[in-house]
Amino acid sequence: MSEQLQCDFKRPECDQCTQRGLVCGGYDEDRIFVDQNVRFPDIASTAVNRGPSRANSSSTRRHSPPRNIQIEALQYAQAGLALSQHGVVLPDSLARSAYNEKSIEMFRNSYAPSALKTSSAAAFSSANKFPDLLPALYVQDDALRLALLATSSATIGQATGDVWMMEQGKKLYSRALVEMSKAVKDPQRSRSPAVSAVPRVMGLFEILFGSDINLNVQARSWRSHAEGELALMKAKGPRAHADGPAHALFVDGRLNPIIAAIRTRKATVLNTPEWKTLPWTTIPKTPKDSLFDVLAGCPEILELIKTLPSITDAERRADLIAIIRMKAAVLRTELEQWRILNPSCVHTPDVDEPTPITFPDFSTAYLSVMYWTTGSLILQSLADPTRVLDFSPAPSLTPTSSTDRATAILFARRITRSAAYFFEPSRGILGSTMISFPTGMAMLTFHCGDGGPENHEYVGLVRKAWSNPNLPSAIKRFLTSMQQDAVEN
């Protein structure tokens, strides 16, 4: 019997299914044993009976998942074929239960590989706790279950070249969208932590399988899920995120809405006092939580900067620039205070040269790049608000005398030096998506400001990491989509 299932053969229903709220097929006098080395899909049962389709479709193979997920998915599909060849027939509910558990396992391995779970990242980031919440959450709502099944089915389809399985994943994703639409309209369902987890799973689906001929569509789809996650948070209110799964989902889940607000340059409700305090009334803040608090203040400044071109009156324009610099100065003080209170959370390279940075652990790496990203945005606002995220040609490529601008450039260079570390296959989807926003902001810093030709060497570090054949093409396409969307926003 599979050790993962841990079935006690209790009749009429086993405890393993009962505890998860699943309908158990039960066991008669003829017990059914399942080879522990065999994994069996439910939704793929039709594919098993007809045999796997190994079509050489370019649309199927174009965006490959990480290598470890490819291998696992291939073994998964082959195991299903082995079952049909040996005439093993399972009760529908047992096959469905096993397939659902396998779907969660595949999602967890693609989102945050086991290598990250053994690092100190678990001590600071609920991004690694998120997959661990899924076994208890996926049985609570059909929208989450369908989203997970969609992601795992599409992953299997891409890894094995099975067009049918890929299409099943897309169909399940469409069903998940419909089910999610129903959930948000239901006052009781919309307050469930399971529903709150759906946008993040759907966001991963967009990263892996949401490519479109128009690259901007993929970025906008991801942003719509981030905004949907924020809408669910607001519907519950800040007090509802003070403990339990709701707190674990919120403290990390708020980052995507903050990033979306920075990209659209619109102030976010997550920067208000109640949203920065009430979710932590029972659980103390981590260094990551406090750093995100500072980052949440950046969209408001960017929104003010966005209005500058429309102001023609010189006096009003000067007043607005003064307000922008005042707000940026407050954020700089908060960031400096965070750095003093958390000295070990930011890595300081031995040298500042265009060479990749090696971090002591994943948590330090992530907090470092987020600190540099936040600092770069704030310091640019202080140095010259008219040039922050300005996509017009830079007026000069000569170094500036501004200390704030020079430090912003330094932070941007350190971010580019970190790209190779996060793009390592062992970091999974989590690593690639974590560095995408900081890298994008670093490239914009180079474009908008100064630093001279030296910046080309640092941009080259990102391109080199980007060219790594082990970096999934789907992620490359998603990051390209995000960059193009940022330019046109």
Reported as a single tens digit per residue, the pLDDT across 229-247 is 999 999 999 999 999 999 9
Model pTM score: 0.76
Q: Write down the residue that tokens 């793929």 correspond to.
A: 44
Specify the pLDDT at position 281: 97
How many domains, the chain? Answer: 1
Q: What are phi and psi of 424, to 5 degrees?
A: -60, 135
Measured CA angle at 60 (ends 115, 139), to 5 deg: 55
For residue 48, is it within any domain? no
Specify the pLDDT at position 426: 79
For residue 164, is it within any domain? no
For residue 74, is it within any domain? no
Q: Which domain holds residue 429?
A: 264-488
For residue 309, is it within any domain? yes
For residue 455, is it within any domain? yes
Positions in the chain whose pLDDT score sits under 70: 1-99, 113-128, 211-216, 387-401, 449-452, 469-476, 479, 481-489
In this predicted model, what pLDDT tens digit does every residue of 419-469 receive, in sequence order?
999 988 778 778 888 898 899 899 888 877 555 678 889 989 988 887 776
For residue 355, is it within any domain? yes
The burial of 1, by beta-carbon neighbours within 10 Å (0-12 exposed, 13-18 middle, 19 or more buried), is given as middle
> Do residues 425 and 471 touch, judged by C-beta distance below 8 A?
yes
Q: Write down the residue that tokens 């940075």 correspond to.
A: 357
For residue 8, is it within any domain? no
Which residues have a Cβ under 8 Å from the Cβ of 138 and sit 6 or more positions away? 100, 104, 144, 145, 148, 194
For residue 384, is it within any domain? yes
At what angle are helices 142-160 and 193-209 packed, to 10 degrees?
20
